[in-house]
Structure 1
């Protein structure tokens, strides 16, 4: 135990969420959690000060359930972090690449390295967690099995990296949100600010079109807009949005005032500096 603050994430030590914590908050101790809900609860119950939650990936899109969990969490977005997903093939010390017959990784990682694996005739086996697969190989001494995971996982579990950055696409990046119990609206980022909110439009014709008009007329860039059902109802739709700017900016303030006129629910989830890698 240390006196350092803790940051919670979903997954095993060495997961890409852990990598995000390591890069964005190196002065925090990581707290691995079984689920996203557990990571959120760790902050709610003060077991951790922050939570690192993935929201979207350039290859696979939105992370399931996160948009539903954020408004219900009572937490606030205080930062974003972009992590380039580099995939490395690792195995026990002393094992050579030509000895590997199968590799284990999370189901979403295997297709991202398909070209490399097919070239070497290596069979991919889905695992619940890529870092967990690395831990299992180290624990059980599996000599013909490798894992696809982060370099951090190899370091933690004492595995050797046989091939680095074997992903087929060179743009695979995951965006994370850093959540805290209290918002912080005072900061101004050197690369701009982001504001995230959810809303439901009033039941009037063309409500969404009219609600979006305020952002266009005030020159506010909306970088993300997604809809999802609320409570399993086809008639209740909630929208999740990211915009560039701070609510204190006159353009953003006017756009949000106009949006509020056409909504019956508007909730601010966070105001935070834009990650430099966003641009």
Structure 2
């Protein structure tokens, strides 16, 4: 069932179960039935395929934009939002980090998915016939090497189905679209080439966010995500991260983003870009050593926010693989 939520939602039929409001436990292992999951995209997108694997009995809430998916949770039209945050080939989804800071939601889970990308076109169209290819910028980034052998114009769309719809409705015989193994099937397109991505496996890490933070335990495999800004000064980032090093807390990821509220800082007579820092570390906020590290960090930063503490997930979900269309073989 698809929830139609006025201007927020895309009218799409989603292959998930109908059900009442979900339980409060939002673990993949416990109580994912009937949870309302907001995501950016429409039926057939890679994210929807991830939902069907990770939340098999969910009620999918497709949204036109990532920000609309966040707003759906904030307005209680959905219970959680899934957000792609990094890919093993293309790296970080940089603008999605800005959403973490711009909204008051909490990271409660992470999900990793191996996604095969395919090249789609109208029946009978060969790869050498293509002059235009539609896809999302992140999927283009995952296929840079494959695209380099083609003389095509790349056109960005918010999600694959939007490009497939354009090709189908305008009957474009020289256009293709990059998407997951089921992304364009409903628009009458055939798969021209499987495994179009540059590398195998093609892993995407998703964050799952909710209004209410999970309460972590002191022991277990946890990851904590934080964001902070720094005071001006020499070696200040090194000093800030030393709060974790001196307590043997492993850092998993560091991401810097421009500080949009204060984009420039002055050091002497020079002006430089001003950054905020997102850090993932492998420990629970229930541990005394983490609490002490965050206490020390607060003394060196302009602001500090814990985005979430959640269990580390080693399970990798595999999205459906493609079967090459007979007419394209």
Query: The TM-score by the shorter chain falls in which range?
Result: 0.7 to 0.9
Answering whether residue 297 of structure 2 is matched by residue 259 of structure 1, we say yes
For residue 225 of structure 1, the aligned residue among 243, 254, 261 is: 254
Match of 2:82 among 48, 52, 55: 52
**Deviation by residue 1:87-109 (Cα, 9 ceiling, x = unmatched):** 112334x5364785345232443
Q: 1:22 is matched with which residue?
A: 52
1:38 match: secondary structure? helix
What runs of 5+ residues in structure 1 fail to find an aligned partner? none
Instruction: Note closer, same or farther for the CA distance 1:109–1:214 as it changes in structure 2 (3 Å cut).
Output: closer
Map of 2:191 onto structure 1 = 161
Q: Which residue of 2 aligns with 1:239?
A: 277
The reply to whether residue 197 of structure 1 matches residue 235 of structure 2 is: no
TM-score (norm 1): 0.83
Residues 42-62 of structure 1: per-residue CA shift (max 9 Å, x gap): 110111111111222233333
Where is the helix percentage greater, Structure 1 or Structure 2?
Answer: 1
Which among 129, 136, 140 is matched to residue 166 of structure 2?
136
Q: CA deviation at 1:12?
A: 3.0
In structure 1, distance between residues paired with 2:255 and 2:127: 45
Determine if contact 1:105/1:149 at 8 Å carries over to the other structure. Answer: no
Q: Does 1:64 align with 2:64?
A: no
Give the structure-2-normalised TM-score: 0.72
* SS state at 2:195 partner: coil
In proportion to residue count, which structure has more strand?
Answer: 1
Give 1:85 deviation, angstroms: 3.6
Name the CA distance, whole Å, in 2 between partners of 1:265 and 1:196.
14
* CA distance in 2 between partners of 1:11 and 1:187 (Å): 34
Corresponding position of 2:206: 176
CA RMSD of aligned residues (A): 2.9
The superposition leaves residues 186-225 of structure 1 with CA deviations (integer Å, 9 ceiling, x where unpaired) of 46897x2110011223455543322211211111111112
Structure 2 residue 143 is matched with structure 1 residue 105: no
State the match for 1:95 in structure 2. 124
Q: Say yes or no: does 1:151 pair with 2:178.
A: no
- SS of equivalent to 1:32: strand
CA distance in 2, matches of 1:52, 1:11: 11
Cα offsets for 1:232-259 (capped at 9, x unmatched): 4313542211100111123323322222
Provide the aligned length of Structure 1 versus Structure 2. 275
Task: Give secondary structure in 1 for the equivalent of 2:69.
Answer: helix
